[in-house]
Chains A and B, each alone.
Chain A
Amino acid sequence: MTATTGTVEGGKAPDLERVFPPPWLRRVGSMFLNVYAGFGLLFLFLPIFVIVAFSFNEPKGRFNLVWQNFTLDNWKDPFAVPELVDAFVFSLKIAAIATTIAVIFGAFVALALTRYRFRGSGAVNLLLVLPLTTPEIVLGASLGSLFILQVYPAPVPQTLGEGTIIIAHVMFCVSFVALTVKARLRGFDWSLEDAAMDLGAGPIRVFTKVTFPLMLPGILAAAMLSFALSLDDFIITLFNASPDNTTFPLYIYGSRQRALPPQINVLATIILIVSVVLLASGVLFGLVRGRRSGVKAATPMIIMPPED
């Protein structure tokens, strides 16, 4: 859609405003806008190029910060640094556990909010949004102080460790999952459930055959998002991990003074490739289904302004 022509219909004499920015100037302006947006995208990708390029770097010394020589060694041996591998595997484990819990809890919340009308739904919505509008450092410090000051009795962990990291990750993922699934469920035709029931399906069958398949695309998108958020979380984790529980981001942070091996870049590039493949399949899935919301579900939708 380029700038429309400013011609006049109906025989009215063109006034100054209609002729002032002449078409060529409008075209230049319009092109400028496209170029400007292109630079915006380039800005977003600049560090990504650096990350990928530096996975092929052969650093002098312990820090992979200055370009030296091209090498494939890092890719031939991406698991050369055992602590890094341990941290990476630990992060994947935490992300898998936290995502599983958060997706179940969050999807139920989303279902309740879209499927039913009930007292207190406004308060629940507020409770979901608040963690997203609280700076991570406050979330991290508050949850950390809860564990350090031992506010709760025993079933809740009394010292920082794996359990507290999972609790923290589930906490921020539940909100994202609930809001993503909710956005996806909005506008669904719930009378399908009644129809299934009229045809003799019991509540469990209605759920497995009707409700769940309807929720599935939203749930998959939310699970991807939740996994990515958990894998990437640093600030909240920093406040809720003990020195023995090193996640991938915590390892990078801890090693910033000691050494930054190029294998960090290799693993980061692998994460990037996997996410792009998943994202692309999500977008394709959305396109195949002929839903415009395909992208909405595949991009972190979280971020959509509240609609109603």
Chain B
Amino acid sequence: MKGGVESGAKRRRFAPYGLLSPGVIWLLLFFLVPVLTLVRASLSERPNRFLPSELTFSWDFANYSDALAKFGEQFQRSFVYAGIATALCIAIGYPLAYVIAFRGGRYKNLLLGLVVIPFFTTFLIRTIAWKTILGDEGAFVGLLRDLGLLGPTQGLLATPGAVIGGLTYNFLPFMVLPIYVSLEKIDRSLVDAAKDLYSRPSRAFWKVVLPLSLPGVFAGSLLTFIPASGDFINAEFLGSPNTRMIGNVVQNEFLVQLDYPTAAALSIMLMIVITAAVLLYAKFLGTEDLTG
């Protein structure tokens, strides 16, 4: 690539654009333009509610303040649930990735495969399976009731815990895989050196392994937090009207109420908050350069 032959120079100058154009044009037309359409819709009015798709653009920022006033609770709840689920994913996923990367030996590939395999069943069916597991007739609730941890009429479904648990479950592999990749890349001689220098293995972990694996934690957190904050399946199947998240609201406003401006304003706000959260988190972990 660097030592390009003279005769091929022209071909090489234009070749990349030719190769790129179908994919890039597709993304521009069906990702970027739609997002801009959504921004426009979020600033439009719906003069006639019987013609929901006839919008007039009017810089109507009231859509945002109205939506926030009406759905602020669900909005806030989404980020709280997604944040807790992300933290739980780190708590479960980091040790799992660590054991696979550092102790997996020749079974590494197999173990990684095991992490991924559950996710080849349909998302909705997995969530319905949790509904069975956590259901009042299930063995788990029976056990907790026998142990006295749950009252005889108390259950697990339709609680915030069930929704957060479902979110944690459904996005866990997205945490494990990037952490695994970043742990796997660490030069083992560095860890050995640290063990020689620092007295205890635990210190070698805190001073060397953990800092070097932060990019993986960062990537994993994004891949968990972002889909979790926009999800509505877990809240719908495992939750109750009191655990509705912003995804449930957007879905209802868009597909049922046909109130496109409100749905659009909520979606755009979701994107803005996520972007802000990502930047803050990157600053916190000191991995700003990893977002590009």
User: Using a CB–CB distance below 8 Å, which chain A residues touch chain B?
Assistant: 1-4, 6, 15, 17-18, 20-21, 26, 33-34, 36-37, 40-41, 43-48, 50-51, 54, 65-66, 104-106, 108-109, 111-113, 115-118, 121-122, 124-128, 130-139, 141-146, 148-152, 156, 167-168, 170-171, 174-175, 178, 190-191, 194, 197, 203, 228, 231-232, 234-235, 238-239, 248-249, 252-253, 256, 260, 264-265, 268-269, 271-272, 275-276, 279-280, 283, 286-287, 294-296, 298-301, 303-306
Q: How many A-B residue pairs have CB under 8 A?
A: 317
B270 touches A135 (CB 8 A): yes
| CB < 8 Å neighbour of B222 from A133, A168, A256 | A133
From A45, A50, A113, A269, residue with most partner B Cβ within 10 Å: A50
- Cα–Cα, bound, A122→B292 (Å): 8
Distance (whole angstroms) from the CB of B264 to the closest CB of chain A: 7
A138 touches B113 (CB 8 A): no
- When A66-B135, A248-B122 are in contact, do A141 and B38 touch as well, CB less than 8 Å? yes
- When A126-B292, A148-B53, A239-B254 are in contact, do A111 and B30 touch as well, CB less than 8 Å? no
- Of B61-69, B148-156, B176-184, the stretch lying at the interface with chain A is B176-184
Please classify the interface of chain B as helix (H, G, I), strand (E, B), loop, or mixed, using the class held by over half of its residues.
Answer: helix
B5 touches A194 (CB 8 A): yes
B24 touches A148 (CB 8 A): no
A303 touches B174 (CB 8 A): yes
A178 touches B222 (CB 8 A): no
- Cα–Cα, bound, A195→B60 (Å): 61
Interface residues of B in 15-36 (CB under 8 A from A): 15-17, 19-20, 22-24, 26-35
A145 touches B216 (CB 8 A): no
Can you list 17 A-B contacts (CB < 8 A)?
A26-B201, A40-B93, A50-B129, A54-B129, A118-B13, A128-B27, A136-B230, A144-B254, A174-B27, A178-B23, A232-B123, A234-B124, A283-B113, A303-B220, A305-B182, A305-B218, A306-B290
A268 touches B137 (CB 8 A): no
Known: A137-B250, A238-B251, A304-B181. 16 other contacts (CB 8 A): A18-B199, A118-B17, A134-B271, A137-B230, A141-B264, A142-B35, A145-B264, A146-B30, A146-B37, A149-B260, A249-B123, A252-B128, A256-B128, A275-B120, A287-B109, A295-B112
B125 touches A268 (CB 8 A): yes
B181 touches A305 (CB 8 A): yes
A133 touches B226 (CB 8 A): yes
Instruction: Please name the 9 residue pairs, one residue from A and one from B, whose CB atoms are nearest each other, closest first.
Output: A135-B230, A275-B120, A47-B129, A305-B219, A142-B34, A105-B23, A37-B99, A112-B19, A116-B16
